[in-house]
Structure formats: structure tokens, C-alpha cells
């Protein structure tokens, strides 16, 4: 009986495509309405920096899985707050200085989409500093980058689990 079940499970795994057989492309990185609204405050060019940080984190965590012709991971940065003022914020507010600090963080979500457009998995993660004392010595987007790194790690773990379940 055990051999029969093992054979049936093995045949089932062979008949359904596993994630291990499909490369993952990092697709569009979009911006949520709240982030776009805040972009007026911290500057439009910061959106490009944030999407670059997220793409770098995803590429780092998904190395070995990245490729074309398989699944696509589309991400959206819903919101982000810097730990230190951006150039646009300092130029618009006299009270801010480059050494000013604040709690920062980000919220991000993503969808894993098959080649035929089916959403296979959704991901969501958000994190912010809890205390201003934790911010000392940070750069502009330290907490947002930490959020992106943790998010990318969770996506990678999920894709590994999917691949293990399908193989």
C-alpha cells in the first residue's frame, strides 16, 4: 500500500509543473497611491531610489531562480517613510537638517503571476521602527531597505516551499 501511494504521489508531482522548472522574472515595481502622495514631500526621484532598493533586494534573494519565460513577480511599494530627510524635504523646510532623524519603514506587496496571467501567490509585508532611539546613525532609507530585504527573504522562502511541494 505504501509503495502504491508513493508511486501515485510521484506521478502527481510529475504531471503538474513545479516552480523549480519555472524561472521567475522580476516585473514591474509600481507605487501605491499613499506613496505617490508622499512623493511630493520627499521628492519624485526618491521613488526611483526606492524601486531600485526593492529590485536589488529581490534579485539578491532570488538569485538562481531569476530568468525569463516562466513566472513574473510584480511588486508595489505601498508606502515608505525615510529615517533622515531627503534633499527635497530639507530644501522645503528650514527646521530639517541632514542629521534630523525619524522612525522610518515601508509597506510592500507583490503577486506571482504565471505566463498565462493567473495569480499564483500574493505577498505582503510592512515594517516600521518602533522607537526613535533605534534610528541613531541611520541613512535616509535604512528602515525601508530593511523592510525590502525582509520582504524579499520571505518571497524567496515561499518560492522555495512552492518548489519543494511541486517536486
Q: Return the domain boundaries, the chain.
A: 17-166
The confidence score (pLDDT) of residue 89 equals 64
Confidence of residue 58 (pLDDT cuts 50, 70, 90): very high
Burial class of residue 70 in the structure, from the number of CB atoms within 10 Å of its CB (0-12 exposed, 13-18 middle, 19+ buried): middle
The confidence score (pLDDT) of residue 8 equals 35
Strands of 105-113's sheet in order across: 24-31, 71-81, 105-113, 119-128
* Strand bridging mode 71-81 / 24-31: parallel
Tens of pLDDT, residue by residue over 109-128, are: 999 999 999 999 999 999 98
What does the pLDDT average to over 73-89? Answer: 85
Nearest Cα residue to 111 out of 79, 155, 166, 51: 155
DSSP H or E stretch at residue 40: helix 33-42
CB 109 within 8 A of CB 145: no
118 phi and psi, to 5 degrees?
A: -75, 130
Confidence of residue 15 (pLDDT cuts 50, 70, 90): very low
Confidence of residue 146 (pLDDT cuts 50, 70, 90): very high
CATH classification code of 17-166: 3.30.160
pLDDT above 70 covers what percent of the chain?
A: 75
* pTM, full prediction: 0.80
Task: Evaluate if residue 130 carries a pLDDT over 90.
Answer: no
CB 113 within 8 A of CB 124: no
Distances (CA, A) of 85 to 103, 129, 147: 11, 16, 18
Amino acid at each position: 500500500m505504501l509503495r502504491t501511494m508513493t508511486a501515485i504521489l510521484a506521478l502527481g508531482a510529475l504531471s503538474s509543473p513545479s516552480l523549480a522548472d519555472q524561472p521567475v522574472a522580476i516585473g514591474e515595481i509600481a507605487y501605491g497611491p499613499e506613496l505617490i502622495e508622499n512623493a511630493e514631500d520627499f521628492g519624485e526621484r526618491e521613488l526611483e531610489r526606492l524601486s531600485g532598493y526593492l529590485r536589488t533586494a529581490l534579485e539578491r534573494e532570488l538569485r538562481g531562480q531569476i530568468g525569463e519565460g516562466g513566472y513574473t513577480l510584480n511588486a508595489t511599494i505601498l508606502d515608505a517613510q525615510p529615517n533622515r530627510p531627503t534633499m527635497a524635504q530639507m530644501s522645503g523646510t528650514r527646521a530639517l537638517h541632514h542629521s534630523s532623524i525619524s522612525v522610518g519603514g515601508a509597506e510592500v506587496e507583490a503577486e506571482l503571476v504565471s505566463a498565462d496571467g493567473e495569480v499564483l501567490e500574493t505577498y505582503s509585508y510592512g515594517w516600521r521602527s518602533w522607537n526613535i532611539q533605534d534610528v541613531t546613525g541611520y541613512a535616509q532609507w535604512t528602515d525601508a531597505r530593511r523592510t525590502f530585504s525582509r520582504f524579499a527573504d520571505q518571497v524567496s522562502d515561499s518560492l522555495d516551499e512552492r518548489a519543494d511541494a511541486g517536486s
